[in-house]
Structure 1
Amino acid sequence: MSDWDMTLPRAGGDACGRAAFKVQPEDFRVEEVLPFEPCGEGEHLFLWVEKAGQNTQWVARNLARIAGITPSSVGYAGLKDRQGVTRQWFSLQLPGKGRADDLDWSSCGEGISVLKTAWHNRKLRQGALSGNRFEIRLQDIVGNQVDIDERLRGISHNGVPNYFGMQRFGFDGGNLDKALALFARKLRLKRDQKSIVLSAARSWLFNQLLAQRVREHTWSCLLEGDVLTFRDSHSLILPERRDDTVTERFVSGELHNTGPLWGRGSLLSEGEVNAWEASLAERWPELCDGLENAGMNQERRALRVTPEAMDWCWIEGNLSLSFFLPKGTYATAVLNEVFENIS
């Protein structure tokens, strides 16, 4: 398979225009939100770090170097974009609290600042976050401001298709090419690299299913065979387990319909929804079979995401937006619903 088509349909129709994204690091600000506060005691030192121009793993290695510990003793909840100004927590396992007083965080590297510290009794694990707050400035906008405002109002009420971001797939779909080579036993990868390409394959299949439902205008409709999930958890409601409250909770945004993250096991959907999902194995058998043989299990992901506390304003022709998104979702999915070629 080659020539991966990265075009995804918009729920609202054609884009409203074009805009320059990430012209400067300050145009893209991200602040991580944890579901807990450090408790103030324990052997894990939490650092609230602001970074610009560096990726999360690079910062983690530098923190480990300064603290004189192994990189595996450093924890973080999520990977943050290199291009932008981001704030996130890191944890360092330091059994002797007195050691922390002598550490010089000013040598973390250019563009890296430790803003505050706190102690906690557990390491920060990947995925242990509620989500991220975004502050985004778009420049050089070409398009009608009235149309853009109308599209943004629709997004704030109805959400957007919960596509995986294009960064998952690598340049020109390179991670997908690696996945096919891995499945054909033509490529061997280290554990972390293998995880990346397996995730890319699952994300691609999910995006294709979601794109089909966007074209069918059913991505945000409650269908009889849909499997539902909660806005604030990964628990599922199977089609046969619905009660009389489901429709109202779906309309309010408390519940979302889901699509498969491919792997071993039976699809949980029913009827027409199940037929759409099963067709993935017919259209992309190399990816589906490869994921199953790699030991991945079937999971589910919400088909829609609604930005919370969404606000925007126009300043000298530039558009500034702010909103919160739950973990695992992408700001580019919101922006691409309005503008062309945001990545």
Structure 2
Amino acid sequence: MSESEITRNPPVDPPLDWSGAPGSARPRLTGVPLWQAAIKQTPESFRVDEDLGFAPSGAGNHWLLRLEKRDMTTGALVDWMAKVTGTRARDIGFSGLKDRQAVTTQWLSIPHESFDPEAFERACQEERIGLLEIDRHDRKLRRGTHRANRFRLQLDHVEPVNANTDAELSAYLAERAPGLASRGMANYFGEQRYGRQFGNLRGLVEWGQGIRTGRPKRQARNWLLSTLRSSIFDHVLAERIAAGTVGRVVPGDLLQLAGSRSRFLADLDELDALQARLEQGDVTPTGPLWGEGPSQAGGSVAEQETALADGMLARFGEETWRRWLADWRVVADRRPLTVRITDLDYRVEGDRVELAFSLPPGSYATELVAELFAPKAAS
């Protein structure tokens, strides 16, 4: 299949018009997927291993535990640990939230004074939770401190989207996978942030337009804000992919250095040098995690982000959401528009594809899959 035969992205519809569509309806760096696959048929078909990036210190006031869970959220794991150890849940530390419908390993910390290793090992055996490693450490684990997540996925019922396609699966992957490995993937939040059947988006409208009265409680407030900011970011990213500017440095871009949170504005006089750094993976443009105040970008980038955010806030209930962003002192932040993929590998076996790759914290494996395959329900 030649480059000219890759189906190109359709134009982006106005905000929210594609929010109820499958993930493949979003613009993709690789174009529209020509094959479809079913994902997460069993927990064992979606494996996540957390790469902490550093070793336990071997001494200190905390224990570090590497646990394996199946079909269980990280929150449920923390609650269970609190119950069996008599520790307050807020004193148990972890770096990242892991998928429920999966087999996952991750590190957690617990204060040493409330922890009996032998009793905990017995409790793990009874609950069928794997206790893989244990050691002392000098501090509580904080969110986002791990280096990466390593994924091993099994995709089932793989078949062409169009029955008339003459492209073979192996050839299709051989053409698209290298581009993903070198260029990276679109760093969408994706459907998991929007709730089942996009219920969280409906919640934004119901609260914002006064269908629900009063103020949401803390837990509801957190997921509403997460949904609001994710939706604005995803639409900014979609617009840039459709415009062909996600792989280019634009004057006013707020660029982020690879491997850090250091950021700086792209200057018109340095575009050529910055473009070379972007292609080398040294910097990446960022998109907005909306908060109170203006866009942190500059020039036309800030204007476009603001116009899109204004349109979305108007549809969610602008007066309410602007007031709550200010009242709750929501600090604006940024997120890379694209992320690099490491150790990407695949294997084709009949109508099944096995994918293996690593992503940085906060990026979603389902979004990498969506660069290659449209979603398909199991037969």
TM-score when normalising by structure 2 = 0.83
1:20 paired with 2:38, answer yes
Residue-by-residue CA offset, 1:96-145 (whole Å, 9 max, x unaligned): 67x33443444466442111211111111222222201111111110331
2:294 to 260, 263, 266: 266
1:191 to 207, 213, 218: 218
CA distance in 2, matches of 1:236, 1:182: 34
Alignment RMSD (CA, Å)? 2.4
1:226 to 245, 249, 253: 253
Structure 1 gap segments, 5+ residues each:
none
1:321 paired with 2:336, answer no
The equivalences for 1:109-148 within 5 A come to 110-143=127-160, 144-145=168-169, 146-148=171-173
1:150 to 175, 190, 197: 175
Over the matched positions of the two proteins, sequence identity in percent amounts to 33
SS at structure 2 position matched to 1:91:
strand
Structure 2 gap segments, 5+ residues each:
1-14, 161-167
SS at structure 1 position matched to 2:310:
helix
Q: Which amino acid aligns with 2:336?
A: A
Deviation for aligned residue 1:189: 3.4
Bigger shift: 106-115 or 78-87? 106-115
Residue-by-residue CA offset, 1:209-256 (whole Å, 9 max, x unaligned): 111111111111111221100221111011249857423211111110
CA distance in 2, matches of 1:187, 1:126: 31
Q: Which amino acid aligns with 2:54?
A: F
CA distance in 1, matches of 2:282, 2:306: 27
CA distance in 2, matches of 1:104, 1:338: 41
Q: Contact 2:148/2:359 (CA < 8 Å) preserved in 1?
A: yes
Kindly tell me: are residues 114 and 242 of structure 1, through their superposed partners in 2, closer, same or farther at Cα, counting changes over 3 Å? Answer: farther
Q: Which amino acid aligns with 1:266?
A: P
- Tell me which residue corresponds to 2:237: 210
Bigger shift: 259-268 or 88-97? 88-97
Deviation for aligned residue 1:311: 1.2
Q: Which amino acid aligns with 1:173?
A: F
SS at structure 1 position matched to 2:159:
strand
Q: Which amino acid aligns with 2:283?
A: L
1:5 paired with 2:20, answer yes
- Tell me which residue corresponds to 1:340: 374
1:163 paired with 2:188, answer yes
CA distance in 1, matches of 2:309, 2:265: 22
CA distance in 2, matches of 1:200, 1:245: 36
Q: Which amino acid aligns with 1:5?
A: G
1:81 paired with 2:99, answer yes
Q: Which amino acid aligns with 1:229?
A: Q
SS at structure 2 position matched to 1:336:
helix
- Tell me which residue corresponds to 1:276: 304
Q: Contact 2:85/2:114 (CA < 8 Å) preserved in 1?
A: no
CA distance in 1, matches of 2:112, 2:202: 41
Q: Contact 2:249/2:266 (CA < 8 Å) preserved in 1?
A: no
Q: Which amino acid aligns with 1:166?
A: E
Residue-by-residue CA offset, 1:42-101 (whole Å, 9 max, x unaligned): 12111110111111111111112221222122111111111111000111112267x334
Kindly tell me: are residues 29 and 187 of structure 1, through their superposed partners in 2, closer, same or farther at Cα, counting changes over 3 Å? Answer: farther
| Alignment length (residue pairs) | 342
CA distance in 1, matches of 2:114, 2:331: 41
Deviation for aligned residue 1:326: 0.6
Residue-by-residue CA offset, 1:257-283 (whole Å, 9 max, x unaligned): 111111122323233222211112331
TM-score when normalising by structure 1 = 0.91
Q: Which amino acid aligns with 2:359?
A: L
SS at structure 2 position matched to 1:267:
coil
Q: Contact 1:76/1:126 (CA < 8 Å) preserved in 2?
A: yes
